[in-house]
Amino acid sequence: MEISVLLPWVSGAISVITLLTLLKNMLSSGEKKLEERATKVENKLVEHDRRIQAIESDLKHLPDRETTHRIEMTMAQIMGRLDAQDATLAGRFEAMDERLKPIQAIGERLQDALIEQARNAA
């Protein structure tokens, strides 16, 4: 067998090997990028999972809808009682004010008398 007959086959085989090597390198570089991207996505997923767990643990301490409704109803009762107490106290203060008016008038008259005595003595 002559080398000239084998030469086109060898060069063709080398070309095919080169082409396959080139394709493998191109695909593996994309695979590396894909692996890097998958790692980033996985890290983000872990981060989101941690955040969700933190939110869930915070939500466990919050009251549920029924408890919140009971709190609202209790606060409404307390506000009603405070309003009634305000009205009662307002009535008492008005009565006290009426009772103190004569005492205030006596104090004013005494003050006027003392001022008048101080003027006459001077």
SS (H, E, C) 81-116: HHHHHHHHHHHHHHHHHHHHHHHHHHHHHHHHHHHH
Number of domains the chain contains: 2
35 and 51 belong to one structural domain? yes
Residue 109 structural domain: 64-121
Check whether residue 47 and residue 90 sit in a common domain. Answer: no
Query: 22-31, 42-51, 54-63, 112-121: which range is least confident on average?
Result: 22-31
**Domain end marker among 62, 90, 108:** 62
Q: Is 62 left (phi over 0), alpha (psi -120 to 50) or beta?
A: beta
Answer yes or no: do 5 and 47 share one domain: yes
Which pLDDT belongs to residue 1?
A: 58
pLDDT at site 43: 93
Mean pLDDT value across residues 39-46: 92
User: What is the mean predicted confidence (pLDDT) over 56-78?
Assistant: 91
The DSSP secondary-structure symbol of 14 reads H
Q: What is the predicted pLDDT for the residue at 36?
A: 82
Considering 45, 62, 79, which residue would you say is the last residue of a domain?
62
| Residue with tokens 């095919």, as numbered in its chain | 16
Mean pLDDT (the chain, rounded): 87
For residues 53 and 101, state if they share a domain: no
